[in-house]
Amino acid sequence: MRQIPFFNYPHVYQQQKEEILASMMRVMERGAFILQEELFQFEREIARFVNAEYAVGVANGTESMFVALLAAGIGPGDEVILCSHTYIATAAAVHFTGATPVLVDCGEDRLIDPVAVENAVTSRTRAVMPTHLNGRTCNMDRLQAVAAKHGLIIIEDAAQALGSKFKGRSAGTFGFAGSVSLYPAKVLGCFGDGGVLFTNAEKTYEQLLKLHDHGRDENGMVVTWGVNSRLDTLQAAVLLPKLKNFPNEIIRRRKLAQLYTDNLKDVPELRLPPAPDADNDHFDIYQNYELEAENRDELRQYLKNNGVGSIIQWGGTPVHKFTGLGLPGKCLPVVEEFFRKCFLLPMNTSLSDDDVYYICEIIRKFYGGC
């Protein structure tokens, strides 16, 4: 029986083993571990990749959002609107500034609903944090219109969307700042935790630099309160060769997504994510392949019995349903219905075409197809 894990972590290393080891060795032989040239080179190159003016490497994706919120002056008494269809980190970043996360429903695209955002605006609302999920950028035209109407700051949670675009513009470059995660399972991942912030404003960039390094300025003088959230130079050395291969990674993922679409589009019990060329506005990079399925739990067990790994993202719980967080009880019907059916199929470049054909064959058999 074929065995297809949900994610093949050793492949992340083996894929570019020699290049990565050589890059890491150059750092280790110099003892250049914190705020050294490989980090600065990575920041320049990744900013160029998304066409942002500036990039700042940070310790992880959660802290990148937290630092961005601090730079925007978000704090106690403020409200920040975000979608409940996100990882807990998005809400946690807001919470630890002292502000209040306000959770809203998703739309038919399963991303934040701009209508729900507008309906949630109060006199205390300072910002909106759209989460670009699974490698797809939100409809930023509609969100920017709402933000402009109400004078809101946009801080993007682009943790899963590096390289994704809306109308030719990269996720993470639309607002005050954009946050990306570099966790190992991401399309561009390091060998531990890591993150990066993008901004197009020089003053914001200068503020982010201070905040992520103990409040120190370019002379090493502490000029404000800050945190320790620097991307290690060793992780930057891992990321540099991977960034060079990143366009090929995206091409392969889009091909895999098309294979899933071609082989599952006529299964009526499934709702698939948009195909790679479903519309002209979106360029998706397929960080994940998340679909909705009738009899989901039974299907996942059937896949497991046939050697195929799958997961339900974030334990199958939207943020507003985590009762231990003390958030106001809400009914968000679209996201709640979505979480009753959603799960992730394997989506990474360790997959062969035959792996995808096999996965699709198992799914079709489960639903009585051939």
Tens of pLDDT, residue by residue over 130-180, are 999 999 999 999 999 999 999 999 999 999 999 999 999 999 999 999 999
Residue 329 has pLDDT above 80, yes or no: no
Give the side-chain half-sphere CA count within 13 A for 189: 20
Residue 289 has pLDDT above 70, yes or no: yes
Residues 318, 336 contacting (CB under 8 angstroms):
yes
Please give the pLDDT value at position 122. 98
Residue 370 has pLDDT above 70, yes or no: no
Residue whose C-alpha is closest to residue 154's, from 133, 172, 134: 172
Residues 105, 149 contacting (CB under 8 angstroms):
no
Backbone angles phi, psi at 246, to 5 degrees: -60, -45
pLDDT band at 1 (very low <50, low <70, confident <90, very high): confident
Q: What is the mean pLDDT of residues 118-125?
A: 98
Please give the pLDDT value at position 328. 83
pLDDT tens-digit series, residues 332-356: 999 999 999 999 999 999 999 999 9
Question: What is the domain partition of the chain in residue ranges?
Answer: 9-240, 246-366
Three-state secondary structure call for residue 198 = strand
Which amino acid would we find at residue 207? Q
- CATH code of the region 9-240: 3.40.640.10
* Alpha-carbon gap, residue 76 to 187, rounded angstroms: 35
Residue 305 has pLDDT above 80, yes or no: yes
Q: What pTM did the predictor assign?
A: 0.95
Does domain 246-366 correspond to CATH entry 3.90.1150.10?
yes
Average confidence score pLDDT of the chain: 96
pLDDT tens-digit series, residues 187-203: 999 999 999 999 999 99
| Topology match between the domains 9-240 and 246-366 | no
Which amino acid would we find at residue 154? I
Residue 330 has pLDDT above 90, yes or no: no
Residues 214, 226 contacting (CB under 8 angstroms):
yes
Helix (H) / strand (E) containing 159 = none
Q: Within the chain, where are the H helices?
A: 9-14, 17-30, 37-50, 61-71, 88-95, 114-120, 140-150, 202-211, 233-264, 296-305, 333-341, 353-366
Per residue, the 3-state secondary structure of 30-99, as one string, reads HCCCCCCHHHHHHHHHHHHHHCCCEEEEECCHHHHHHHHHHHCCCCCCCEEEEECCCCHHHHHHHHCCCC
pLDDT tens-digit series, residues 262-283: 999 999 999 999 999 999 999 9
Q: What is the mean pLDDT of residues 312-320?
A: 94
